[in-house]
Amino acid sequence: MFHTVSASGFYVMERWQPPRGRRGRGRGSYSSSSSSRSNDSRPSKASNYATTTSKTTSLGSFGINNKQHNNDVESLPNLIGTCPFMCPVDERVQRERLRDLAIFERLEGNPTKSSSTLAVKKFCRTISTKDIRDVDMRPVHVLEDTLNYLLTIFESGKHPFEVVHDFIFDRTRSIRQDLSMQSITSGDQAVHMFERIIEFHIVSHYKLRRNTTDSNVSPMHHLNLEQLTKALASLYHLYDENRKSNPGYANEPKFYSFYVLLHLGSDHQPTGESLSLWFRTLPYSIAKSKEMMFSRRLLRYFRFGNYKRFLHTTEAEASRLQYYIIEPYVSEIRATGLSCLNYGGYKQHPYPLSDLSKHLFLDESDVESFCKDCGLETFTSDTGTKFMPTKQTSFCHPKGSRKHYPLVSKRLKPFYDEVPYRI
Amino acid sequence: MASYMSMGEAHRRITEYLNRFADVVAYQDGTSLKHLLSLSSESSSFLALADALNLFQDANRLIRQADKYSQYAEIVAPLFRAMQSYRVGRLAESYQAFEKSANAFIQEFRNWESAWALEALYVVVYEIRVLAERADRELASNGKTPEKLKAAGSFLMKVFGVLAGKGPKRVGALYVTCQLFKVYFKLGTVHLCRSVIRSIETARIFDFEEFPVRDKVTYMYYTGRLEVLNENFSAADHKLSYALTHCDPQSEANIRMILKYLVPVKLSIGILPKRSLLEKYNLIEYNDIVLAMKRGDLRLLRHALEEHEDRFLRSGVYLVLEKLELQVYQRLVKKIYIIQKQKDPSKAHQIKLEVIVKALKWLEMEMDLDEVECIMSILIYKNLVKGYFAHKSKVAVLSKQDPFPKLNGKPINS
């Protein structure tokens, strides 16, 4: 047995177990928190994932700042889970009885029967901390195995995407809840789990948007974005907590860059947390990292309206996950670019669509319909060349997500052909 | 411990303090009261008193000895403990005790009809913040979670509530607000400023003009900074300028703090400070930026941003300064126009995009014709340049009248 000290200052006993078989990314035995904390006799409030200090994020209306106590994450300093299964036995039995089993949890399709290898603990919104038993909580290694299992389902692609997403969305939220309630804030496992869950949310962020046929972004997409930002905030909190004992995780720059990219757009509301505020507390080494410099450059280009550099840089340098976040802004900056060209262009020189295709990284066959989406007319000359007349007064930003015009790029093509991505 | 003190002397010092405290309250002498509460001032009398307390050890017995001051036991007993802890460098403990004392003080303050003790309240509020900051530093250095400043914030909100009433005490609310701003900025929980701002600006009991000037300046400084963080340049200009005009002209440090944020705001609306101003207040980090704007020198702007990157990021003005790029482009194109005008006034308003490419190359910036066209179209769209660009002939044609409109103190429309 060895002792680790939880964030609240209590000594906490963890059972050492030999490394288990399916470990996903191959984590060995537990890493204990290397910082020694003195035994504080007064129970101080354990660190709480949702109540972040410097890294509160708020994407427009999501405002996950500390004003409201987040029901997801009440924590109990002493709680150590002992549930050895992906789903606590009592919950599984109850849900079997109530026929509350997701498709993935049904044994041979039977809506009333599951098993310990299929059932996964659900997220519970109204959990009263008094009633938590340690047999209902999954310890870290079980949570890791659960996450591995869930992500295998996510990659398998046998069911309609929205069905898969819904299941993974809920079950990973439950994982995050179990982590918070046990105040697991130190150690590589928690960080790694959050990173993988965030990657799931980013892939869903992209796929849900592409799959939606109605012009309004679906509520599922909105909720996914909300959890994505919450998980990011928790991750940054973990990074901060571990910074004292750790030189820094390898993935930090990547995951910080996601935040900047999520905030590219002009839908940033003045009452939300500003990027300037966020940058204030960012460690300088992170701000200067390759991934952050990339996203900062994109931010500069976007705010300037420089569609050329924005699109070119994205095409040349964006990683898959970065692209998934950037993609909605591709449409926005193309529209802005079109608007400027339309506004300032000489009336006698209608703009060739072939040039627009080049500038805006649009497929030539798509330019016409994109112009139409922006309320702009095009015409074909006697020679068969297509043009967009300038000084039109009917420009408008394309509403919702009508048609998707991927960035014309050999490099990025595999990303939007939905080649499965191993998280 | 300072020089040797006898038990007798310790006894004397403590009872002297207790008597003074009771007298001062009885006579409603706010000015004197505040001196009795100011721990962090570390005046010699305080240090001596703290030594006396640590020596005597049983101050509570003394407090109980006379009705005259035992009625203030709830305030004084924890205050004494705070002093003792402070003296031996246990700051987290000191904060804890001081908060208890402050709490009791607030209860009494509530009952006092007039606002005689407002100055003393200010001191208590100030001490709460300062002690909390020091306590957190101590906690952090011992590897514990710093949580006292957060607690101080909650406490100050309570105090704010006590002052937010109809009586004469309400003029103290702005001071407490400013202390709260300082707490929130330090913690990074800047969004919490919103609720107290709302109270000050919308509650009918408050009339902004009634507050002391010093507090109004501080208030406008912080709310101005919030506007800068949110890039609301008109509002930021208004608030920070207010702070500047009403600030004590002797207080160079405060003026510098205001200017640190006001300069980027003014730059954003096209108003450039004189070099002498920047040098007087040691804001030389803005020198090159101003120069870049005057010259239309993009390379210099980028260089200046990089040189002071960390500092600009920390103060939250980096993104504001980055935006100045637009104006620098405008200036560059204007310079080309001026040069052309000197050569051939009749053709000056036509600028070949090629020429702009060349100018940028000279500044060591590689840009192709398409990107220059992109930039020109943006400048035109945002009304920084009046005219149009001819795509086929790759020429920008400027309006003959006022081709480079000045911003005139208005931010560039997005």
Do β-strands B350-352 and B395-398 pair in parallel, antiparallel, or remain unpaired?
A: antiparallel
Span B173-201, average pLDDT: 94
- Which chain B residues are closer than 8 Å to A45 by Cβ? 147
CA neighbor of B23 nearest in space, from B12, B13, B36? B36
Nearest to A308 among B314, B318, B374 (CB): B374
- Whether residues B374 and A355 touch (CB distance < 8 A) is answered with no
Distance from the Cα of A264 to chain B's closest Cα (Å) equals: 12
Q: What pTM value is reported for the model?
A: 0.85
Taking CA B221 as the corner, what is the angle to CA B215 and CA B224, rounded to the nearest 5 degrees? 135
Amino acid at B151: A
Tens digits of residue pLDDT in B143-163:
888 999 999 999 999 999 999
Residues in a beta bridge with B352: B395
**H-helix or E-strand spanning residue B352:** strand B350-352
pLDDT above 90: percentage of residues in chain B? 85
Which residue did the predictor score with more confidence, B62 or B414? B62
Residue B230 near chain A (CB below 8 Å): yes
Cα separation, B380 vs A40, whole angstroms: 64
Alpha helices in A22-160 (DSSP H): 89-98, 140-156
Nearest to A279 among B147, B313, B397 (CB): B313
- Which chain A residues are closer than 8 Å to B313 by Cβ? 279-280, 282, 284, 287
Count of helix runs (H) and strand runs (E) in chain A = 14, 5
**Confidence (pLDDT) at A59:** 37
**Which chain B residues in 239-278 lie under 8 Å from chain A, judged by CB atoms?**
none
- Which chain A residues are closer than 8 Å to B150 by Cβ? 53
Cα separation, A420 vs A203, whole angstroms: 10
- Which chain B residues are closer than 8 Å to A64 by Cβ? none
Distance from the Cα of A346 to chain B's closest Cα (Å) equals: 5
Span B302-319, average pLDDT: 96
Q: How many CB atoms lie within 10 A of CB A61?
A: 11
Tens digits of residue pLDDT in A291-317:
999 999 999 999 999 999 999 999 999
Burial A155-183 (b: 16+ CB within 10 A, else e): eeeeeebbebbbbbbbbbbbbbbbbbbbb
Residue B310 near chain A (CB below 8 Å): yes
The domain locations on chain A are 1-249, 346-416
Q: Quick one: pLDDT band at residue A57, thresholds 50, 70, 90?
A: very low
**Confidence (pLDDT) at A107:** 94
Mean pLDDT, chain A, whole residue set: 80
Interface probe, candidates A8, A336, A341, A351, chain B, greatest B C-beta count within 10 A: A341
Residue B154 near chain A (CB below 8 Å): no
Span B289-308, average pLDDT: 96
Residues in a beta bridge with B390: B395
What ipTM goes with this model? 0.89
Span A255-270, average pLDDT: 79
Burial B215-252 (b: 16+ CB within 10 A, else e): bbbbbbbbbbbbbbbbbbbebbbbbbbbbbeebeeeee
State the number of CA atoms in the 13 A half-sphere of B189 facing the CB. Answer: 19
Q: How is the beta sheet containing A351-352 ordered, strand by strand?
A: A351-352, A386-388, A379-380
Q: Which residues contact B8 (CB under 8 A, 6 or more apart)?
A: none
Which residue did the predictor score with more confidence, A45 or B127? B127
Cα separation, A165 vs A161, whole angstroms: 6
Cα separation, A415 vs A421, whole angstroms: 9
3-state secondary structure of B387: strand
**Which chain B residues in 191-220 lie under 8 Å from chain A, judged by CB atoms?**
191-192, 194
Please say if the pLDDT value at position A28 is more than 50.
Answer: no
**H-helix or E-strand spanning residue A386:** strand A386-388
Amino acid at B385: V
- Whether residues B319 and A275 touch (CB distance < 8 A) is answered with yes
**Confidence (pLDDT) at B297:** 96
**Confidence (pLDDT) at A420:** 63
- Which chain A residues are closer than 8 Å to B190 by Cβ? 273, 277
Residue B190 near chain A (CB below 8 Å): yes
Q: Quick one: pLDDT band at residue A47, thresholds 50, 70, 90?
A: very low
pLDDT above 90: percentage of residues in chain A? 59
Q: Phi, psi (5° rounding) for residue A112?
A: -115, 5
Tens digits of residue pLDDT in A64-122:
333 333 444 455 667 788 999 999 999 999 999 999 999 999 999 999 999 999 999 99
3-state secondary structure of A400: coil
Structure tokens at B260: 């640190």
What's A110's DSSP letter? B
- Whether residues B189 and A270 touch (CB distance < 8 A) is answered with no
Cα separation, B186 vs B133, whole angstroms: 9
Distance from the Cα of A233 to chain B's closest Cα (Å) equals: 14
- Which chain B residues are closer than 8 Å to A287 by Cβ? 309-310, 313
Nearest to A284 among B232, B310, B316 (CB): B310
- Which chain B residues are closer than 8 Å to A305 by Cβ? 378, 381
- Whether residues B319 and A308 touch (CB distance < 8 A) is answered with no
**Confidence (pLDDT) at A224:** 94
Q: How is the beta sheet containing B350-352 ordered, strand by strand?
A: B350-352, B395-398, B387-390
Please say if the pLDDT value at position A7 is more than 70.
Answer: no
Would you say B106 and B158 are in contact if contact means Cβ atoms under 8 Å apart? Answer: yes
Angle of helix A290-304 relative to helix A320-344, nearest 10 degrees, comes to 20
**Confidence (pLDDT) at A54:** 33
**Confidence (pLDDT) at A64:** 34
Span A210-236, average pLDDT: 83
Residue B183 near chain A (CB below 8 Å): no
Q: Quick one: pLDDT band at residue A151, thresholds 50, 70, 90?
A: very high
Cα separation, A142 vs A193, whole angstroms: 12
Judged by average pLDDT, the poorest of A251-260, A316-325, B142-151, B300-309 is B142-151
- Whether residues B380 and A340 touch (CB distance < 8 A) is answered with yes
Tens digits of residue pLDDT in A180-205:
888 887 778 999 999 999 999 999 99
Distance from the Cα of B387 to chain A's closest Cα (Å) equals: 7
Please say if the pLDDT value at position B265 is more than 50.
Answer: yes
Size of interface A-B (CB pairs under 8 A): 137
- Which chain B residues are closer than 8 Å to A306 by Cβ? 371, 374-375, 378
Nearest to B189 among A40, A66, A348 (CB): A66
